[in-house]
Amino acid sequence: MTNQLNNFAYGKWIPGEEKGQELVNAINGDFVASASSKGIDFAKMCDFARNIGGPKLRKLTFQERGLMLKALALHLQSKKEIFYNLSWATGATRMDSWVDIEGGIGNLFTYASLRRQFPNESYCYDGDVARLSKNNTFIGHHICVPKEGVAIHINAFNFPVWGMLEKVAVNWLAGVPAIVKPATLTSFLTEAVVKEIIASKILPEGALQLICGSANGILDCVQSQDVITFTGSASTGKMLKSHPRLLQESVPFNMEADSLNCCVLGTDVTTSMPEFDIFIKEIAREITTKAGQKCTAVRRIIVPKNMVEDVQIALGKRLSLNIIGDPNVEGVRMGSLAGFSQLIEVKEKVEILSKTQKIIIGNFENFEVKGANKSKGAFMPPIIFYNDSPFINTDCHNIEAFGPVSTIMPYNTIDDAIELSKMGKGSLVSSIITADNTIARKYTIGAACMHGRILILNAECAKESTGHGSPMPLLVHGGPGRAGGGEEMGGKRGVFHYLQRTAIQGSPSTITAILNQYQQGAKPILKDIHPFKQYFEDLEISETLITEKHTVTLDDIEKFAELSGDKFYAHMDENALDGTIFTGRVAHGYFILSRAAGLFVDAPKGPVLLNYGIDECRFTKPVYPGSSIAVRFTCKEKIEQEKKNPEDVAKGIVKFLVDVYDETGETVAIATILTMVKKRNQN
């Protein structure tokens, strides 16, 4: 590692013009590097992202961007030991680093896989069509296009890898470039990851830039198409959020602030139940993982009054087994805080909290460190308070010591527990450990308005649970109130934070042409060749096959009932129809769909490889014996699929709209089927 970190700006690595902030090893106090952004032109960085990176990303489709993320994830996975070797200097154990490093890479993999939920276009659509006219000649929809700005990510010190990758994975899939500003304290690890990303040449030029020193002044450069995300303290977040430029340009600002998260032990749990051990393990893990330096860490331990002593004893025993020291030494389970500045800050907060509650576990002066000098590293022991009057002594609901510090507090009823959880004024996560689903339901519904995520743990799910403190890529990460009011990740919904949703109105044919997705009522494309005889590349959106007709008979109904075993009274007993909507024995909905398949399927072997499934199916009108049905079979959407290996068949998924109608022209059943279709070009 060099003595001075580099910034990556406007396509090149640039050191700051001065030595800058000194960064030290959190375990032994040794000098690691200095970080400075002096001389870096932030306005030029933003312009470079908007004018170079943005256009290149927007030219790619969601499928291509997803494959880009997958390739990058595989590359970083192959380099992970480089990152582990640096991570220990942040005070992290191997397990802490696993969450940070491989958790971050896992986010890339997850968002890469989400490409399958988007069309093979550079844009997408959202929601369902809005029918705006009586005869369906005028409709509305929503198109979502990438914002033509830059995502500026201002991150916290505690997760220098995950904090970056969990955000950039989302904006890159959306087609937006990023400028990353990690917290300077641990930026040496972020720089190492960015170096590998840039060296891989997987991303287009301008897709990623890095600021290792101060980013003071970058918000002066933002424009309306940019997106700002912030992870860190609530006070800093509020200051940034109120920047005049953000207000002037209406720039989206997503804030994820540290919060006073809580974990509740249900009133049903006793010491003999597995849920009690689960609770103690979960609390101990949350206190010691990353030395308590997590925005999701448990700060408030809410326990039935009659269980406080048992919890204190069990937690004390568990924490007494916790070995603090150099993460490279065998047996060490908790490292240090990320730096001496953090140690000073946590001690100050502990001192304030001590005025209204009592320390029952831990001592700043009396603890052992293995394999390291306690005075040279930013070490501290777990500190557990007890607050016997949490409705009166409220510092525990307002002051957060961002380290291995938490407070046990008693409650009488589950309503009390709900109220205590809300006194944190908004958190990223709450959890409840209970074997009683009635309690779980009451707590979840009662507390949900003040928490971004709620984990319900019991013996049934604990073994596979990812735990209280682990945000998941497919679920929303964020929270109301003190937690910032923001929202990150959340699977597909997170991508929409970087897209502009625009309502579009016009004829079905025009909206079809714009979205490249068939809208009902659009002019059909009629060909002399059957759709099943065409390769993936040859099929056109709106291409429609009008089938022959079939007259439904009573014999059809009885044979289908015998074959399927479905002898529901409406199909079989005409004397049981009084009080129903039916005027006679009615054909099975699934018979109608099956017979429709018999009308539109082309039997001989061709490019169609298989039926992939049904997305939507509705039976909209009863079909009685004597009615005639036919099908409008329309190519609705085409989705590219990549080859899994060189020997794999090149293919894609085609969605067909199956519109079954009767002799009056009315739709009686409608479905979207998916077929796997071979490509003409197998290269």
- Rounded Cα distance, 285 and 297, in Å: 9
- Per the CB < 8 A criterion, the answer to whether 13 and 7 are in contact is yes
Residue 482: inside a domain, yes or no? no
- Rounded Cα distance, 286 and 284, in Å: 5
Residue 426: inside a domain, yes or no? yes
Mean pLDDT of 130-142: 90
Say whether both 376 and 444 belong to one domain: yes
Say whether both 290 and 422 belong to one domain: yes
Residue 385: inside a domain, yes or no? yes
pLDDT of 277 > 60? The answer is yes
> What are the structure tokens assigned to 216, written together?
């003071």
pLDDT of 345 > 80? The answer is yes
pLDDT of 194 > 60? The answer is yes
Say whether both 166 and 309 belong to one domain: no
Among 652, 626, 29, 15, CA closest to 375? 29
Say whether both 525 and 573 belong to one domain: yes
* 449 band by pLDDT with thresholds 50, 70 and 90: very high
The overall average pLDDT reported for the chain is 91
- Per the CB < 8 A criterion, the answer to whether 492 and 485 are in contact is no
Say whether both 530 and 644 belong to one domain: yes
Active site residues: 256, 295
> What phi and psi values does residue 548 have, to the nearest 5 degrees?
-70, 170
List b or e across 394-425, with b for residues whose CB sees 16 or more CB atoms inside 10 angstroms: ebbbebbbbbbbbbbbbbeebebbbbbbbbbe
Q: What does pTM read for this prediction?
A: 0.88
* pLDDT tens-place string over residues 226-246: 999 998 888 888 888 889 999
Residue 467's H or E segment, with its range, is none
Say whether both 156 and 93 belong to one domain: yes
- Per the CB < 8 A criterion, the answer to whether 483 and 450 are in contact is no
Say whether both 548 and 399 belong to one domain: no
Residue 481: inside a domain, yes or no? no
- Per the CB < 8 A criterion, the answer to whether 16 and 4 are in contact is yes
pLDDT of 127 > 50? The answer is yes
Q: Are strands 178-181 and 208-210 parallel, antiparallel or unpaired?
A: parallel
Say whether both 254 and 266 belong to one domain: no
Question: Would you state the pLDDT for residue 120?
Answer: 86
Mean pLDDT of 313-333: 90
* pLDDT tens-place string over residues 43-64: 999 999 999 999 999 999 999 9
Instruction: For the beta carbon of residue 340, count every other beta carbon within 10 angstroms.
Output: 16
Residue 483: inside a domain, yes or no? no
Say whether both 227 and 288 belong to one domain: no
Say whether both 151 and 250 belong to one domain: yes
Residue 475's H or E segment, with its range, is none
Q: Which amino acid, 487?
A: E
- CATH classification at residue 272: 3.40.309.10
Q: How far is CA 233 from CA 22, 154, 187, 260, 566, in A?
A: 22, 11, 17, 12, 61
- Rounded Cα distance, 8 and 22, in Å: 19
Residue 486: inside a domain, yes or no? no
Residue 68: inside a domain, yes or no? yes
Residue with the bigger pLDDT between 278 and 484: it is: 278
Question: Would you state the pLDDT for residue 273?
Answer: 94
Q: How far apart are the first and last CA of the chain?
A: 43
- Per the CB < 8 A criterion, the answer to whether 78 and 180 are in contact is no
pLDDT of 386 > 60? The answer is yes
Instruction: For the beta carbon of residue 121, count every other beta carbon within 10 angstroms.
Output: 15
* 198 band by pLDDT with thresholds 50, 70 and 90: very high
Residue with the bigger pLDDT between 237 and 193: it is: 193
Burial class (CB in 10 A: 0-12, 13-18, 19+), 205: middle
* pLDDT tens-place string over residues 535-555: 999 999 999 999 999 999 999
Mean pLDDT of 161-185: 94
Say whether both 104 and 160 belong to one domain: yes
Question: Would you state the pLDDT for residue 2?
Answer: 52
* pLDDT tens-place string over residues 484-525: 888 888 888 889 999 999 999 999 999 999 998 999 889 999
pLDDT of 365 > 90? The answer is no
Task: Give percent above pLDDT 70 in the chain.
Answer: 100
Residue with the two structure tokens 């540290």: 258
Q: Show the domain range for 235.
A: 6-136+147-258+494-499
- CATH classification at residue 89: 3.40.605.10
Question: Would you state the pLDDT for residue 623?
Answer: 93
Residue with the two structure tokens 């769909």: 593
pLDDT of 10 > 60? The answer is yes
Say whether both 190 and 279 belong to one domain: no
Q: How far is CA 18 from CA 38, 39, 86, 189, in A?
A: 6, 9, 24, 20
Residue 24: inside a domain, yes or no? yes
Question: Would you state the pLDDT for residue 1?
Answer: 44
Instruction: For the beta carbon of residue 470, count every other beta carbon within 10 angstroms.
Output: 17
Structural domains of the chain, count: 3
Q: Half-sphere exposure of residue 576, counting CA atoms within 13 Å on the CB side?
A: 9
Q: What is the DSSP string of 163-204?
A: HHHHHHHHHHHHT--EEEE--GGGHHHHHHHHHHHHHHT-SP
* pLDDT tens-place string over residues 638-676: 988 888 888 888 898 999 999 999 999 999 999 999 999
